[in-house]
Structure 1
Amino acid sequence: MAPGRGDMCHAQGTARTCAATQAALCKATARHRQLVLQLGGSADSPRLREERRRSSMEVRELSTGLQQVLLGGLRQAAVSPEERRELERLWVLFLCALELFLQDLCRTQHLCQLFSVQGGGAAPLRTGLGGQGPSSRRGSRRGGGPTQPPAAPGLEEEIEEVRAMLAEMESRANIPLWTVEPTQMVGTGGTTAPRVAQGRAHLEHCCRVL
């Protein structure tokens, strides 16, 4: 039986909802990256790290919702070829954004191990000039190098949650990444590579499914 008008409208509404959620996800992941880039610097503090944690939670909540809606849309029999291509395009963009988010989480874990925030103050800015600071000399006199503090609580859980989501996405929707190609040039000033902060915002408008 051919799909009815109501089913087609529902499919189109799903694509619009996913596109809006994808745009919100791009903004959230970009905001999270900006917070991660400040870890270990003069702006690092318990408040910054708590803000990063809340930002990570927002990204993971948006990702969970988008995954469910996209998967439901791709399984609809009433989806037109155009709507399916749009949903597949959004699925691939979602997968790429989640992989970048996972990279930022791993970077966060590494930075939190290198730079500890103790006593409620800002973390010291380390230059990495051969480990000749006072703490390094004290560690040498004790017969061992300076110990690294553990990563922030909950970071390992965040990383494992995103890894599990990526594995589930790749197993439940067989959409090859190579089916996406740029449809327009992005960036200015004679370069085709946009800045990282702008790249995710451009993804929605410059890719299509072959």
Structure 2
Amino acid sequence: MAPGRRDACRVRGAAGTCAAAQAALCKVTAGHRQLVLQLGGSADGPRLREERCRRSAEARELSTGLRHALLAGLRQVPVSPEERQELERLWVLFLSALELFLQDLCRAHHLCQLFSTQGGGGAPLRTGLGGRGPPGRKGSRRGGGPTQPPATPRLEEEIEQVRATLAEMESRANIPLWTVEATQPVETGSTAAPEARAAQWGPRTGHCCRVL
């Protein structure tokens, strides 16, 4: 195979690998968001929080692999403008997914501070219908659980890891976000995140955005 064709296959392979990883990341972070939204509710408990931790770890592992793959692809000599644009598009989608994931981690941290599962296996949400006594009586709880238990160290570590990944991506790949514009109209009534739908469409058809 000629050197030029070998280079083209290598870059196209990198873009395809990154697109698949991006789709997997969006799927995992979407599942993580659903778990975060249940914190403090009737479905909350140790099992839900352990599942949230597992999903978070999976998302962070995917982020690490995708970061390395994207940076490696962007540092190579571009074979064609189209392949370079595809890698840049995936880089912007990756940043967007990480930012949303970081927001969910911060939300989970806040909710875990408000609702603690320590001291019992029941759901931390209290509706006031459980016969715990009138408000103001010594020993009664309003709203359920301690108002401000200590922050979860594991969540703080997760947040710092994602922030470090974002900072590294922004500093090591000089791709202005304003160079990417949307090409797909927003679908009304859809609950999926735009970057999740974009990743599922694949690297060559149905792009939600393109590099200017």
Deviations along 1:120-179, one digit per CA (max 9) or x if unpaired, are 413331569xxxx86865479xxxxx6511233311100000111111110001111112
Please give the alpha-carbon distance, in whole angstroms, between the structure 2 residues aligned to 1:171 and 1:23: 24
Question: Kindly tell me: are residues 9 and 148 of structure 1, through their superposed partners in 2, closer, same or farther at Cα, counting changes over 3 Å?
Answer: same
CA shift at 1:92, angstroms?
Answer: 0.4
Aligned-partner Cα distance in 1 for 2:3–2:120 = 61
Task: Give the structure-2-normalised TM-score.
Answer: 0.84
What pairs with 1:23-172 in structure 2 (closer than 5 Å)? 23-126=23-126, 138=138, 148-172=148-172
2:209 maps to what in 1? Answer: 207
Q: 1:173 to 1:44 in 2, by over 3 A?
A: same
- Structure 1, gaps ≥5 residues long: 141-145
| CA deviation string 1:90-140 (max 9, x = no partner) | 000000100010000000000000001124413331569xxxx86865479
Structure 2 match to 1:143: none
Q: 8 Å contact 2:180–2:211 — kept in the other structure?
A: yes
Partners of 2:87 and 2:139 lie apart in 1 by 55
State the secondary structure of the residue aligned to 1:200: helix
Q: 1:135 to 1:179 in 2, by over 3 A?
A: farther
Per-residue deviation at 1:201?
A: 2.2
Provide the C-alpha distance between the structure 2 equivalents of 1:95 and 1:136, rounded to a whole number of angstroms.
48
Distance 2:136 2:80 in 1: 64
Aligned 8 A contact 2:113 2:147 in 1 = no
2:210 is paired with a residue whose SS is: strand
Q: Does 1:185 align with 2:185?
A: yes
SS in 2 for 1:29: helix
CA distance, structure 2, for counterparts of residue 163 and residue 116 of structure 1 = 25
User: Which range is displaced more, 62-71 or 176-185?
Assistant: 176-185
The answer as to whether partners of 1:40 and 1:126 remain within 8 angstroms in 2 is no
Q: The residue matched to 1:41 in structure 2 has which SS?
A: coil
Whether the aligned pair in 2 keeps the contact of 1:115 and 1:123 (CA below 8 Å) is: no
Structure 2 alignment gaps of length 5 or more? 141-145, 200-206
Amino acid in the other structure paired with 1:209: V
Q: In structure 2, how many angstroms separate the alpha carbons of the residues matched to 1:104 and 1:155?
A: 11
Q: What is the root-mean-square deviation of aligned Cα atoms in Å?
A: 2.4
Amino acid at match of 1:101: F
Deviation for aligned residue 1:38: 0.3
Name the aligned partner's letter for residue 187 of structure 2.
Answer: G
CA distance in 2, matches of 1:95, 1:198: 14
**Aligned equivalents of 1:113 and 1:177: distance in 2?**
34
Query: CA separation of 1:93/1:127 partners in 2, compared to 1, >3 Å: closer, same or farther?
Result: farther
**1:198 Cα deviation from its structure 2 partner:** 3.9
Between the aligned partners of 2:176 and 2:97, the Cα distance in structure 1 is 15
TM-score, normalisation: structure 1: 0.84
Task: Answer whether contact 1:74 1:88 (CA < 8 A) is retained.
Answer: yes
Give, as a single letter, the amino acid of the residue that structure 1 aligns with 2:101.
F
CA distance in 2 between counterparts of 1:127 and 1:101 reads 30
